[in-house]
Structure 1
Amino acid sequence: MEIEQIKNEVSKVINDLLKEHPQKPGSVFVIGCSSSEIAGGKMGKNSSAEIGKAVFETAYKILKKKKLYLACQCCEHLNRVLVVEEECADKFGYDEVKVVPWLHAGGSFATAAYAGFKKAVVVEHVKASAGIDIGDVLIGMHLKDVAVPVHPEQKTVGEAHVVCAWCRPKLVGGERAKYE
């Protein structure tokens, strides 16, 4: 799998989602990623530091330019905790936990984020306004309550299946309520 192709596919998925469902500056955008799945292997069995770094750097560059906070989900060996910038954790009051992700516990994507953020911290939970799941790693626990799935035109990154979501506010009220 060519790294430039992976970067292009990640870029396309993110830009398609944000074009269709723009996010407010300062919102959290979560990404879960299996480099093993991108490379055509089985999740957790073929981790690639190079692929994880390519996905992180591409996503971070795009989202930072849009003034969105990136939350990078670790694998299940670290209970799907997230790597974020300290500024994000402080802004939203996320409690920091102590762990350093690495290739075989956290995954290559989270490891790249921990090394690549200006001041990385790890938190247990976020409530993201949108997100991308690359390789069926299950990001739903880190999205706001009403997630709306989006099926992007770019349906894969490498060999990994991609699903996206954005979150809308809850609709409350009864038969007299108006929403627009």
Structure 2
Amino acid sequence: MMALPKEELAVIKDAVTAAVTELVTVGRLTAGDVLVVGCSTSEVRGARIGTDSTTEVGQTIVAALLHVLQPKQIALAVQCCEHLNRALVVEKAVAKDHGWPICNAVPQLHAGGATSMAAFAQFTKPVVVESIQAEAGLDIGDTFIGMHLRPVVVPVRLQVKQIGEAHVTAARIRPKYIGGARAVYDESLM
């Protein structure tokens, strides 16, 4: 496929901005939380996952995510593709704060993917970690991010159902319910 026109990149940027803004609100994310994003730029462009990775789409998506998350001090973790075992690009300070061991890998277009490459380029001090437990997640193109969410995962039905041609799903977490029939729960945590 050919490069996307600026107008199409603007539509992608707006959709990502709307989706992540809604997820931050619905997921009740606050400073210090981590949001994991998995993204197939191939799917965004209307191709099958892993067949048409595109750096300009990855760059547009990461820039939109950071524009929303950075002012709120919510950390972004970008999942790599299966060729890097779905490892994640995070800021080094976030990895250290959470005690996540740092791995030695630099995402490439067909070994990590365009979105993780963009994160590696746009983050201040990027590192790759093998796994995390985030408070919320955004999946653009059915990349399966659930393995990186803390239990208990709750689906979030966003107004944005598609970014480009890619199917979009989202999730947040909630504390586990413990106790039995006599237990009382804090409604604000549900």
Letter in structure 2 aligned against 1:82 = L
Matched, 1:167 2:168: no
Code of the residue aligned with 2:78 in structure 1: it is C
Residue from 84, 106, 109 that aligns with 1:103:
109
Partner of 1:16: 22
Count the aligned residue pairs: 180
Q: 1:59 aligns with which of 55, 65, 75?
A: 65
Identify the match of residue 35 of structure 2 among 29, 33, 36: 29
Match of 2:42, SS state, is helix
Runs of 4+ in 1 over 4 A off after TM superposition: none
Gap runs ≥5 in structure 2: none
Tell me the residue number matched to 1:113: 119
2:36 and 2:26 map into 1 onto residues whose CA distance is 17
> 1: distance between equivalents of 2:153 and 2:47?
28
Q: Quote the residue 1:85 is aligned against.
A: 91
- What amino acid does structure 2 have at the position aligned with 1:17? L
Alignment match, 1:47? 53
> 1:176 deviation in Å?
2.0
1:126 aligned onto 2:129: no
Residue 178 of structure 1 is matched in structure 2 by 184
Shift, 1:24, TM fit? 2.2
Q: What letter matches 1:149 in structure 2?
A: P
SS at match of 1:64: helix
Q: 1:148 aligns with which of 154, 158, 163?
A: 154
- CA distance, structure 2, for counterparts of residue 104 and residue 70 of structure 1: 21
**1:72 alignment partner, one of 78, 99, 104:** 78
Tell me which moved more, 32-41 or 22-31.
Answer: 22-31
Partner Cα separation in structure 1 for residue 167 and residue 111 of structure 2: 22
Displacement of 1:19 in angstroms is 2.2
Letter in 1 for 2:111: A
TM-score when normalising by structure 1: 0.98
What CA distance in whole angstroms lies between the structure 1 residues aligned with 2:27 and 2:34? Answer: 14
Give me the whole-angstrom Cα distance separating, in 2, the residues matched to 1:155 and 1:123: 29
Task: Give the distance between the partners of 2:174 and 2:84, measured in 1 at CA.
Answer: 29
1:4 CA drift (Å): 0.5
Letter in structure 1 aligned against 2:37: I
- CA-to-aligned-CA distance 1:120-146 (integer Å, 9 cap, x gap): 000001100001000000000000111
Instruction: Output one character per residue of 1:42-73: Cα deviation in whole Å (capped at 9) or x when no partner.
Output: 10000000000000111012111111000000
Task: Give the residue type in structure 1 aligned to 2:123.
Answer: F
